[in-house]
Homo-oligomer: A and B are copies of this chain.
């Protein structure tokens, strides 16, 4: 029997999720970003905070991801990239991304995606041209991969809200962490 494509795996995982309206998520997320813009003086701090809370979300999501996607392990960083783009994006956001622009050492790639449910119905506030509005996604990827023993850097480099032609997140593998031995119970 041939192995199902990652696209199919992503669709099956999405079907296994409880789902809510994307517009409700977009408006809830937008409300959160606005709150941070009130709370922090510098847009750079808002970007950092979005990344930090995203990391916490990623740490929480990864378990659900493994359970619903039924993906046991990735055998290479290239496989990891494809799983993020075709399965994780689909499962949580209902869209898929494309993996491109590998570095020569195969440690860095880009995720490109045109549809970004977080940023629907949104315009960047005029006074915040430096906001990476969807920066939470970088944190989510970073947090989830750290739970899988991959330390990565993750940065937005293009965002349609800034007038770019697509959305692009650059992901770099910094370190493969050693498996933690299971903790004794006492």
Contacts and interface: CB of A to CB of B under 8 A. Distances in A.
A153 to B, nearest CB: 22
A93 to B, nearest CB: 6
A164 to B, nearest CB: 22
A92 B24 contact: yes
Number of copies: 2
A71 interface: no
Nearest to A36: B35
A24 B57 CA distance: 8
A17 B22 contact: yes
Contacts of A20: 19-22, 25, 92-94, 117
Interface stretch (A26-34, A76-84, A96-104, A168-176): A26-34
Interface residues of A, number: 32
Q: Which 5 A-B pairs have the closest CB atoms?
A: A18-B22, A19-B19, A32-B32, A21-B92, A17-B21
A64 interface: yes
Interface in A29-74: 29, 31-32, 35-36, 39, 53, 56-57, 60-61, 64
Nearest to A34: B53
Contacts of A22: 17-20
Given A32-B35, A53-B31, A18 B21 contact: yes
A91 interface: yes
A56 B32 contact: no
